[in-house]
Amino acid sequence: MEVHHHSHSSRKKWTHYFWEFLMLFLAVFCGFLAEYQLEHKIEKQRAKEYALSLYRDITADTLAFDRNIRNLNACVANIDSLIELLQAKEGIIKNTNSIYKLSTYAFIFPANKPNESTIQQLLNSGSLRYFRSNPLIDSVKGYNNEMQVYREFREDIGNFNIEFRKAQARVMEMDPVITAVSRSNFSDLEKISLDTTAFSGNIRLMTNEPLLIKEYTNWCALKKFYMTRTASHFYSLKRRAEAVLQLLKEEYHFK
Protein backbone atom coordinates (compact mmCIF):
# COMPACT_ATOMS: atom_id res chain seq x y z
CA MET A 1 0.00 0.00 0.00
CA GLU A 2 1.45 3.26 -1.08
CA VAL A 3 1.59 6.11 1.29
CA HIS A 4 1.21 9.59 -0.26
CA HIS A 5 2.80 12.44 1.60
CA HIS A 6 1.13 15.71 1.02
CA SER A 7 3.48 18.69 0.89
CA HIS A 8 2.32 21.52 3.01
CA SER A 9 3.44 25.06 1.96
CA SER A 10 3.09 27.62 4.65
CA ARG A 11 1.94 31.03 3.49
CA LYS A 12 4.33 33.90 4.18
CA LYS A 13 3.16 36.52 6.58
CA TRP A 14 2.50 40.04 5.28
CA THR A 15 5.34 41.32 7.46
CA HIS A 16 7.77 39.25 5.41
CA TYR A 17 6.63 40.98 2.20
CA PHE A 18 6.77 44.32 3.92
CA TRP A 19 10.41 43.82 4.95
CA GLU A 20 11.33 42.60 1.48
CA PHE A 21 9.74 45.71 -0.02
CA LEU A 22 11.42 47.95 2.55
CA MET A 23 14.87 46.47 1.89
CA LEU A 24 14.38 46.83 -1.86
CA PHE A 25 13.15 50.40 -1.43
CA LEU A 26 16.11 51.28 0.80
CA ALA A 27 18.56 49.77 -1.68
CA VAL A 28 17.09 51.79 -4.56
CA PHE A 29 16.83 54.92 -2.44
CA CYS A 30 20.44 54.64 -1.22
CA GLY A 31 21.57 54.14 -4.80
CA PHE A 32 19.64 57.23 -5.81
CA LEU A 33 21.21 59.23 -2.98
CA ALA A 34 24.70 58.05 -3.91
CA GLU A 35 24.12 58.98 -7.56
CA TYR A 36 22.68 62.35 -6.56
CA GLN A 37 25.62 63.10 -4.28
CA LEU A 38 28.07 62.10 -7.02
CA GLU A 39 26.29 64.29 -9.58
CA HIS A 40 26.18 67.16 -7.10
CA LYS A 41 29.90 66.77 -6.42
CA ILE A 42 30.70 66.72 -10.15
CA GLU A 43 28.59 69.84 -10.78
CA LYS A 44 30.25 71.61 -7.86
CA GLN A 45 33.68 70.70 -9.24
CA ARG A 46 32.72 71.86 -12.73
CA ALA A 47 31.38 75.12 -11.31
CA LYS A 48 34.69 75.79 -9.58
CA GLU A 49 36.66 74.94 -12.75
CA TYR A 50 34.51 77.28 -14.84
CA ALA A 51 34.71 79.95 -12.14
CA LEU A 52 38.51 79.75 -12.05
CA SER A 53 38.77 79.91 -15.85
CA LEU A 54 36.38 82.86 -15.95
CA TYR A 55 38.27 84.57 -13.12
CA ARG A 56 41.57 84.26 -15.01
CA ASP A 57 40.04 85.51 -18.29
CA ILE A 58 38.43 88.54 -16.67
CA THR A 59 41.48 89.36 -14.54
CA ALA A 60 43.57 89.50 -17.71
CA ASP A 61 40.85 91.54 -19.43
CA THR A 62 40.74 94.19 -16.70
CA LEU A 63 44.48 94.74 -17.11
CA ALA A 64 43.98 94.99 -20.89
CA PHE A 65 41.10 97.43 -20.40
CA ASP A 66 43.32 99.70 -18.30
CA ARG A 67 46.07 99.56 -20.93
CA ASN A 68 43.61 100.22 -23.77
CA ILE A 69 42.14 103.22 -21.94
CA ARG A 70 45.61 104.72 -21.34
CA ASN A 71 46.66 104.14 -24.94
CA LEU A 72 43.44 105.52 -26.39
CA ASN A 73 43.69 108.63 -24.22
CA ALA A 74 47.31 109.11 -25.34
CA CYS A 75 46.24 108.81 -28.98
CA VAL A 76 43.41 111.31 -28.47
CA ALA A 77 45.85 113.83 -26.94
CA ASN A 78 48.22 113.44 -29.92
CA ILE A 79 45.37 113.72 -32.43
CA ASP A 80 44.35 116.98 -30.73
CA SER A 81 47.88 118.28 -31.39
CA LEU A 82 47.70 117.01 -34.97
CA ILE A 83 44.44 118.86 -35.61
CA GLU A 84 45.98 122.08 -34.29
CA LEU A 85 48.92 121.74 -36.71
CA LEU A 86 46.64 120.96 -39.65
CA GLN A 87 44.50 124.01 -38.87
CA ALA A 88 47.56 126.32 -38.78
CA LYS A 89 47.74 126.74 -42.56
CA GLU A 90 50.88 128.86 -42.57
CA GLY A 91 52.84 126.27 -40.60
CA ILE A 92 51.94 123.03 -42.40
CA ILE A 93 55.14 122.78 -44.47
CA LYS A 94 57.30 123.76 -41.50
CA ASN A 95 55.63 121.17 -39.29
CA THR A 96 55.60 118.31 -41.80
CA ASN A 97 57.70 115.97 -39.63
CA SER A 98 55.49 116.60 -36.61
CA ILE A 99 52.37 116.02 -38.72
CA TYR A 100 53.76 112.64 -39.81
CA LYS A 101 54.67 111.67 -36.27
CA LEU A 102 51.29 112.65 -34.83
CA SER A 103 49.46 111.03 -37.76
CA THR A 104 50.94 107.70 -36.67
CA TYR A 105 48.85 107.93 -33.50
CA ALA A 106 45.83 108.48 -35.73
CA PHE A 107 46.74 105.54 -37.98
CA ILE A 108 46.68 102.95 -35.18
CA PHE A 109 43.73 101.88 -33.06
CA PRO A 110 44.93 100.36 -29.76
CA ALA A 111 41.87 98.36 -28.72
CA ASN A 112 41.93 94.58 -28.39
CA LYS A 113 38.88 92.34 -27.91
CA PRO A 114 37.98 90.85 -24.52
CA ASN A 115 38.62 87.13 -24.03
CA GLU A 116 35.20 85.51 -24.46
CA SER A 117 36.15 81.82 -24.56
CA THR A 118 34.98 80.82 -21.07
CA ILE A 119 31.93 83.07 -20.87
CA GLN A 120 30.63 81.91 -24.25
CA GLN A 121 31.18 78.29 -23.27
CA LEU A 122 29.18 78.89 -20.09
CA LEU A 123 26.32 80.54 -21.97
CA ASN A 124 26.18 78.31 -25.06
CA SER A 125 26.41 74.99 -23.19
CA GLY A 126 24.01 75.95 -20.41
CA SER A 127 26.78 75.46 -17.87
CA LEU A 128 26.03 78.79 -16.25
CA ARG A 129 23.46 76.83 -14.19
CA TYR A 130 26.37 75.30 -12.26
CA PHE A 131 26.76 78.64 -10.50
CA ARG A 132 24.43 78.63 -7.49
CA SER A 133 24.64 82.38 -6.85
CA ASN A 134 21.92 84.32 -8.68
CA PRO A 135 23.78 87.65 -8.29
CA LEU A 136 26.84 86.02 -9.91
CA ILE A 137 24.76 84.63 -12.79
CA ASP A 138 23.13 88.05 -13.35
CA SER A 139 26.52 89.76 -13.21
CA VAL A 140 28.02 87.37 -15.80
CA LYS A 141 25.04 87.99 -18.10
CA GLY A 142 25.42 91.74 -17.64
CA TYR A 143 29.10 91.55 -18.52
CA ASN A 144 28.27 89.52 -21.64
CA ASN A 145 25.62 92.09 -22.66
CA GLU A 146 28.20 94.87 -22.31
CA MET A 147 30.59 92.89 -24.51
CA GLN A 148 27.83 92.49 -27.09
CA VAL A 149 27.37 96.27 -27.20
CA TYR A 150 31.13 96.71 -27.69
CA ARG A 151 31.17 93.94 -30.32
CA GLU A 152 28.62 95.81 -32.43
CA PHE A 153 30.45 99.11 -31.98
CA ARG A 154 33.74 97.45 -32.94
CA GLU A 155 32.29 96.52 -36.35
CA ASP A 156 31.68 100.23 -37.00
CA ILE A 157 35.27 100.96 -36.00
CA GLY A 158 36.63 98.53 -38.58
CA ASN A 159 34.62 100.09 -41.40
CA PHE A 160 35.52 103.60 -40.27
CA ASN A 161 39.23 102.83 -40.04
CA ILE A 162 39.34 101.68 -43.67
CA GLU A 163 37.83 104.97 -44.84
CA PHE A 164 40.05 106.99 -42.50
CA ARG A 165 43.23 105.49 -43.94
CA LYS A 166 42.03 106.22 -47.46
CA ALA A 167 41.65 109.89 -46.49
CA GLN A 168 45.07 109.80 -44.81
CA ALA A 169 46.65 108.36 -47.96
CA ARG A 170 45.37 111.31 -50.01
CA VAL A 171 47.49 113.67 -47.90
CA MET A 172 50.48 111.63 -46.71
CA GLU A 173 52.97 109.09 -47.92
CA MET A 174 51.90 105.97 -46.08
CA ASP A 175 55.13 103.99 -46.23
CA PRO A 176 56.94 106.09 -43.55
CA VAL A 177 53.86 105.89 -41.31
CA ILE A 178 53.59 102.11 -41.66
CA THR A 179 57.35 101.78 -41.07
CA ALA A 180 57.09 103.82 -37.87
CA VAL A 181 54.18 101.67 -36.69
CA SER A 182 56.05 98.42 -37.38
CA ARG A 183 59.15 99.62 -35.50
CA SER A 184 57.34 100.91 -32.43
CA ASN A 185 56.03 99.15 -29.33
CA PHE A 186 52.51 100.31 -28.55
CA SER A 187 52.11 98.49 -25.23
CA ASP A 188 52.05 101.75 -23.26
CA LEU A 189 51.80 104.91 -25.35
CA GLU A 190 51.99 107.17 -22.30
CA LYS A 191 55.56 106.05 -21.64
CA ILE A 192 56.90 104.89 -25.02
CA SER A 193 57.92 107.27 -27.80
CA LEU A 194 57.47 106.44 -31.44
CA ASP A 195 60.44 105.47 -33.56
CA THR A 196 60.63 108.62 -35.69
CA THR A 197 63.64 107.63 -37.81
CA ALA A 198 61.19 106.80 -40.61
CA PHE A 199 60.36 110.53 -40.80
CA SER A 200 63.93 111.76 -41.17
CA GLY A 201 65.19 113.27 -44.39
CA ASN A 202 63.25 115.27 -46.93
CA ILE A 203 59.77 114.00 -46.16
CA ARG A 204 56.78 115.80 -47.70
CA LEU A 205 53.02 115.75 -47.69
CA MET A 206 51.32 114.45 -50.81
CA THR A 207 49.42 117.74 -51.13
CA ASN A 208 49.06 121.17 -49.58
CA GLU A 209 45.68 121.71 -51.20
CA PRO A 210 43.47 123.36 -48.50
CA LEU A 211 40.34 121.29 -49.17
CA LEU A 212 42.20 117.98 -48.89
CA ILE A 213 43.96 119.17 -45.73
CA LYS A 214 40.58 120.23 -44.33
CA GLU A 215 39.10 116.85 -45.25
CA TYR A 216 41.95 115.05 -43.45
CA THR A 217 41.45 117.33 -40.43
CA ASN A 218 37.77 116.34 -40.31
CA TRP A 219 38.66 112.66 -40.52
CA CYS A 220 41.10 113.14 -37.62
CA ALA A 221 38.31 114.72 -35.57
CA LEU A 222 36.14 111.68 -36.31
CA LYS A 223 38.99 109.34 -35.35
CA LYS A 224 39.30 111.18 -32.05
CA PHE A 225 35.55 110.71 -31.51
CA TYR A 226 35.72 106.96 -32.17
CA MET A 227 38.71 106.56 -29.87
CA THR A 228 36.98 108.51 -27.09
CA ARG A 229 33.85 106.35 -27.49
CA THR A 230 35.97 103.20 -27.44
CA ALA A 231 37.64 104.29 -24.21
CA SER A 232 34.16 104.86 -22.77
CA HIS A 233 33.18 101.30 -23.72
CA PHE A 234 36.27 99.99 -21.96
CA TYR A 235 35.38 101.95 -18.82
CA SER A 236 31.96 100.26 -18.83
CA LEU A 237 33.46 96.82 -19.51
CA LYS A 238 35.95 97.30 -16.70
CA ARG A 239 33.19 98.16 -14.21
CA ARG A 240 31.19 95.08 -15.23
CA ALA A 241 34.29 92.90 -15.12
CA GLU A 242 35.25 94.08 -11.65
CA ALA A 243 31.73 93.30 -10.39
CA VAL A 244 32.01 89.71 -11.70
CA LEU A 245 35.47 89.32 -10.15
CA GLN A 246 34.23 90.48 -6.76
CA LEU A 247 31.36 87.98 -6.78
CA LEU A 248 33.67 85.16 -7.90
CA LYS A 249 36.01 85.98 -5.03
CA GLU A 250 33.17 85.92 -2.53
CA GLU A 251 31.67 82.69 -3.87
CA TYR A 252 34.85 80.69 -4.49
CA HIS A 253 37.39 82.46 -2.25
CA PHE A 254 39.83 83.28 -5.06
CA LYS A 255 42.73 85.56 -4.17
pLDDT tens-digit readout, 3-21: 555 545 556 666 766 666 7
- CB distance 232 to 72 below 8 Å: no
Q: Does 161 have pLDDT greater than 80? A: yes
Residue 149 has pLDDT above 60, yes or no: yes
Instruction: Kindly report the number of other CB atoms within 10 A of residue 245's CB atom.
Output: 19
Residue 229 neighbours by CB under 8 Å, 6+ apart = 153
20-29, 105-114, 123-132, 230-239 — most confident range:
230-239
> How would residue 1 be classed by pLDDT, with cut points 50, 70 and 90?
very low
Tens digit of each residue's pLDDT (9 = 90 or more) over 173-206: 999 888 888 877 766 666 556 666 777 777 889 9
User: What's the pLDDT band for 127 if we cut at 50, 70, 90?
Assistant: confident
User: At 236, is the pLDDT very low, low, confident or very high (cuts 50, 70, 90)?
Assistant: very high
How many residues make up the chain in this entry? Answer: 255
Average pLDDT of the residues in 119-124: 91
Distances (CA, A) of 90 to 85, 94, 95, 211: 9, 8, 10, 15
Confidence of residue 29 (pLDDT cuts 50, 70, 90): low
Instruction: Quote the CA–CA distance of 170 and 16 in Å, as a whole number.
Output: 98
- Residue 56, pLDDT above cutoff 90: yes
- pLDDT, mean over the chain: 84
Instruction: Identify the pLDDT of residue 201.
Output: 73
| Proportion of the chain above pLDDT 90, given as a percent | 49
pLDDT at 252 over 80: yes
Count the alpha carbons within 13 Å of 51 in the hemisphere toward its beta carbon: 26
SS (H, E, C) the chain: CCCCCCCCCCCCCHHHHHHHHHHHHHHHHHHHHHHHHHHHHHHHHHHHHHHHHHHHHHHHHHHHHHHHHHHHHHHHHHHHHHHHHHHCHHHCCCCHHHHHHHHHHHHCCCCCCCCCHHHHHHHHHCHHHHCCCHHHHHHHHHHHHHHHHHHHHHHHHHHHHHHHHHHHHCCCCHHHHHHHHHHCCCCCCCCCCCCHHHHCCCCCCCCCCHHHHHHHHHHHHHHHHHHHHHHHHHHHHHHHHHHHHHHHHHHHCCC
**What local confidence, expressed as pLDDT, does residue 125 receive?**
87
pLDDT at position 160, please? 92
End-to-end CA, the chain: 96
pLDDT of residue 158: 86
Residue with the bigger pLDDT between 243 and 46: it is 243
